[in-house]
């Protein structure tokens, strides 16, 4: 009887959601509804309805930046064609985001931090994806009070993108060994100029985050953050060794290492700290020793990334992917 009661109630709730999907005319409300369903993990109940609704959607020229970014992400995730040109209406004639948008966009996309890093001018091998990285952060952490978290997460992704490119396509193995060792020691010694730029970016970003946390609570997060960056660089180094030696790891070897190198685990830890949650001893212990939630999230991120980039890796004769 209890099962039948809950089954009947479930079907009723599912029908209510289906009615919401088909009756909602406001594009912004509809995108937020689909996004909420994805975050709750219930969207698989409504695949047909979501596909039908999205098939009729086109970017609204009157939408705000957040709604447009959400629309762009959802359509792209589901394989619908949508051009990055939808963001052009938010840019001025010089290609920058207009001053009329929210303060955190203004603060980040003034490009001051990006210019000061020198990545664009001095690391020609690295992808310049500041805007895309910010839009990703905004789609992930969209609440207005979490501006600092969005900006911090964007900085993190910009830096790990440069490091990923450095290990994948540019650095010599001896140089990459030195870089990983420097990050592990937290000391910069005998690095090439382009690696010094990356190292200083990590150092300044981490110091900025640690100082911000210290203003609100007594927890010393530096050892934990340093360990995450050391693990990240070490995992990239392992992949670089595999590639240059022609070694093909087992599936378990590959997944164990690549779940770290994809950067999702460290991203989750940075996001947690940047949101200024109270950091107890128990929390810090969990950050240090990991959790199944973080592991499975990282595994999903790794496999999704590999599905999207395997052809590119094969073109570089990277057999590990």
Average pLDDT over the chain reads 78
Confidence grade of residue 176 (pLDDT, cut at 50, 70, 90)? very high
- State pLDDT tens for residues 272-306: 888 877 777 777 777 766 677 888 888 888 888 88
Residue 196 and residue 80 share a domain: no
Confidence grade of residue 109 (pLDDT, cut at 50, 70, 90)? very low
Residue 139 and residue 76 share a domain: no
Residue 248 and residue 152 share a domain: yes
How deeply is 227 buried, as exposed, middle or buried, from its count of CB atoms within 10 A (0-12, 13-18, 19+)? middle
- State pLDDT tens for residues 4-52: 666 777 788 888 888 888 787 777 788 888 888 877 777 778 888 888 8
Distance separating alpha carbons of residues 102 and 65, to the nearest angstrom: 9
Distance separating alpha carbons of residues 15 and 20, to the nearest angstrom: 9
Beta bridge pairs of residue 97:
91
Sequential DSSP letters for 86-153: GGGGGB-TTSSBPTTS-HHHHHHHT-HHHHHHTHHHH-TTS---HHHHHHHHHHHS--GGGHHHHHHH
How deeply is 187 buried, as exposed, middle or buried, from its count of CB atoms within 10 A (0-12, 13-18, 19+)? exposed
Residue 30 and residue 145 share a domain: no
Domain-ending residue, one of 64, 85, 106: 85
Residue 147 and residue 63 share a domain: no
Distance separating alpha carbons of residues 275 and 267, to the nearest angstrom: 12
Is the dihedral angle over the CA atoms 87, 91, 97, 98 positive or is it negative? negative
Residue 171 and residue 261 share a domain: yes
- State pLDDT tens for residues 235-244: 999 999 998 8
Residue 95 placed within a domain: no
Q: Which residues contact 277 (CB under 8 A, 6 or more apart)?
A: 283
Q: Which residues contact 170 (CB under 8 A, 6 or more apart)?
A: 125, 126, 194
Residue 163 placed within a domain: yes
Residue 269 and residue 209 share a domain: yes
Sequential DSSP letters for 15-44: HHHHHHHHH---HHHHHHHHHHHHHHT-GG
Radius of gyration of the chain (CA): 22
Domain that holds residue 194: 117-321
Token look-up 């060794």 returns: 241
Q: Which one-letter DSSP state was computed for residue 219?
A: -
Residue 147 and residue 242 share a domain: yes
Q: Work out how many domains the chain is built from and give that number.
A: 2
Domain-ending residue, one of 42, 61, 85: 85
């Amino acid at each position: 009887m209890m099962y039948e009661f809950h089954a009947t109630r479930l079907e009723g709730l599912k029908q209510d959601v289906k009615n919401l999907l088909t009756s909602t005319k406001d594009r912004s409300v509809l995108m937020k509804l689909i996004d909420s369903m994805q975050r709750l993990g219930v969207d698989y109940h409504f695949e047909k309805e979501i596909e039908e609704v999205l098939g009729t959607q086109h970017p609204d020229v009157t939408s705000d930046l957040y709604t447009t970014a959400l629309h762009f992400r959802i359509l792209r995730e589901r394989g619908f064609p949508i051009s990055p040109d939808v963001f052009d209406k938010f840019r001025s004639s010089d290609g920058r985001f207009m001053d009329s948008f929210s303060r955190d966009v203004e603060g980040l996309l003034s490009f001051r931090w990006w210019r000061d890093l020198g990545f664009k001018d001095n690391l020609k091998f690295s992808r310049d994806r500041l805007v895309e990285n910010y839009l990703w952060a905004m789609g992930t952490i969209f609440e207005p009070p979490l501006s600092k978290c969005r900006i911090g997460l964007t900085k993190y992704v910009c830096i790990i993108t440069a490091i990923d490119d450095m290990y994948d396509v540019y650095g010599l193995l001896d140089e990459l060994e030195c870089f990983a060792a420097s990050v592990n020691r937290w000391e910069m010694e005998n690095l090439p100029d382009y690696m010094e730029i990356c190292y200083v970016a990590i150092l300044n970003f981490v110091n900025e985050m640690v100082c911000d946390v210290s203003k609100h609570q007594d927890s010393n997060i530096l050892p934990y953050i340093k360990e995450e960056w050391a693990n990240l660089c070490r995992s990239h180094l392992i992949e670089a060794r595999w590639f240059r030696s022609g070694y093909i790891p087992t599936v378990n070897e590959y997944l164990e290492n690549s779940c770290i190198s994809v950067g999702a685990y460290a991203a989750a830890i940075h996001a947690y700290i940047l949101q200024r949650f109270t950091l107890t001893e128990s929390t810090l212990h969990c950050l240090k020793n990991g959790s199944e939630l973080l592991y499975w999230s990282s595994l999903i991120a790794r496999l999704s990334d590999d599905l999207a980039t395997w052809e590119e890796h094969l073109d570089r004769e990277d057999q590990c992917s």
